[in-house]
Amino acid sequence: MSPRGDSMSNLLRRLRKLETRLTDDSGLRPHSEAWLDYWSHRIDRLLGGEAQRETGRIPLEAIDALVAGAAAEANRGEGR
């Protein structure tokens, strides 16, 4: 393999490693709108008893973000 090919291979390997650090089990970037939607839906299903057999973990960041969003929404509702 040429030096350029080795460099490109190394760069792609490092990029894949970095991407795994920037995503969670959902495959989405944490704190993005799609990520919040995914975890909100997943938690709703778990609480509703629909996804009890699905394995995996819910990141604390997802729970914190959803609680903070609900608190902010409640505070906006009180200000009406």
Alpha-carbon distance 42 to 39, whole Å? 5
pLDDT in tens, 17-59: 776 677 777 888 888 899 999 999 998 888 888 877 776 788 8
Q: ∠ CA(38), CA(55), CA(22), 5° rounding? A: 50
CA–CA dist 36, 16 (Å, integer): 23
Per the confidence metrics, is the pTM higher than 0.75? no
Within 13 Å of residue 15, how many CA atoms lie on the same side as its CB?
Answer: 6
Buried b (16+ CB within 10 A) or exposed e, 35-48: bbebbeebeeeeee
